[in-house]
Amino acid sequence: MKLSDFKYPVPRNLIAKHPANPRDHARLLVVNRADETFEDRHFYDIVDYFEKGDAIVVNETKVFQARLIGKKEKTNAKIEVFLLRQLNIEENIWDVIVDPARKVRIGNKIYFDNGNLWCEVIDNTTSRGRTVRFNYTGDFFKVIDKIGLTPLPYYIKRDPTPKDKDAYQTIFAEKVGAVAAPTAGLHFSKPLVKKLEKKGVSFSSVLLHIGLGTFRSVEVEDLTKHKMDSEFFEVTDDAVKIVNKAIDSRRKVCVVGTSAMRAVESAVTTDGHLKILRGWTDKFIFPPYDFKIADKLITNFHMPESTLLMLVSAFAGHDLTMRAYKHAIKKGYRFFSYGDAMLII
């Protein structure tokens, strides 16, 4: 398949700027692959699509306050530093994106929090990318949790508010390390999880720290030539036991989100079971692809030409996926990170 196969027009009024409230009241488009039909429901209706013994796999990554607003030394020019990945814990060295990049050069210092925190640029990585060293070597995540801003995606055309700190975080978030939320999980509420568990559905957590690489633009028409950035993932013994029990019992496994899907598909045994594994994955899933673990997928409506849309298309089939998106647009579903959901069965 080609990059241009994943283009579609997105009406601006359908790009969600705020999440559903309550979060499990988001709309849900149920896509049935067997008979290629659509059902318009609400997210709390997913209980109807699960049975005793089924397993649901979620991503337990936690978003940190990755956007820092600072001032450049001497000029006091406003500079945004977007934290991507910590390269060295002892020296607190990070890969970042700076804006405006033209004003930030090697050797420059940027000050935050009235000068209590600062970083020095030590290298250039891309046109907007820099490597920086912070002066603080204690519990850095605790510091930026106080002074940083929620890293809302750029297409949400507003500044983050204090409410976003909780809204842009799933109820499963446990391990800090993501610069973007695993948005399919945002729709779950604690009462909804309890209803599913009462029905006999088991939840298991895997980890994939979402970086900007997940959203990096695909710039080649030939998808086989696109290279994903590596992201840290982990599949633990607890997840392996729950998922493999469902598989061996001939029950259904539902993966929540494209990031969790990439994690489980990066840890598959030769006989189609899940295995314990941790490390870095650059797995790029696009049509055609033979999924080994999941029977169902919960996901949001993703951007045109994105790797996330390509993964969904690989799972549901390209034609059915694009038809589902047309249906969603016609019915006024809300799109992208704070938008509505799809359940593909």
Q: Which of 188, 240, 242, 152 is nearest to 46 (CA)?
A: 188
Domain co-membership, 72 together with 19 = no
If we measure between CA atoms, which residue out of 197, 180, 179 comes closest to residue 188?
197
Q: Is residue 159 part of a domain?
A: no
Q: Are the C-beta atoms of residues 244 and 44 closer than 8 Å to each other?
A: no
Q: Quick one: 72 and 185 in the same domain?
A: no
Of 169, 187, 171, 172, residue with least CA distance to 43: 187
Average confidence (pLDDT) over 125-151? 92
Examine the domain organization and report whether 48 and 183 are in the same domain.
yes
Domain containing residue 75: 67-147
Q: Kindly compute the dihedral angle of the four CA atoms of residues 314, 317, 320, 326, in this order, to the nearest 10 degrees.
A: 20
Total number of domains constituting the chain = 2
In a domain, 222, yes or no: yes
Average pLDDT over residues 205-228: 91
- pLDDT attached to residue 48: 98
Residues 238, 128, single domain; the answer is: no
pLDDT per residue as tens digits for the range 296-311? 999 999 999 999 999 9
Same domain, 52 and 190: yes
Q: What is the pLDDT of residues 116-136, one digit of tens each?
A: 899 999 999 888 899 999 999
Identify whether 156 is part of a domain. no
Structure tokens belonging to residue 3: 């990059």
> 192 and 331 share a domain?
yes
Task: Tell me the per-residue pLDDT of 8-44, one tens digit each, with 9 for 90 and over.
Answer: 999 999 999 999 999 999 999 999 999 999 999 999 9
**pTM score, two decimals?**
0.94
Position 246 in a domain: yes
Give residue 197's Cα distance to chain centre: 24
Residue 279 and residue 169 share a domain: yes
| Interval 276-287: pLDDT, tens | 999 999 999 999
Are both 112 and 223 inside the same structural domain? Answer: no
Q: What is the CATH number of the domain that holds 319?
A: 3.40.1780.10
One domain, residues 102 and 217: no
Q: Do residues 334 and 231 both lie within one domain?
A: yes
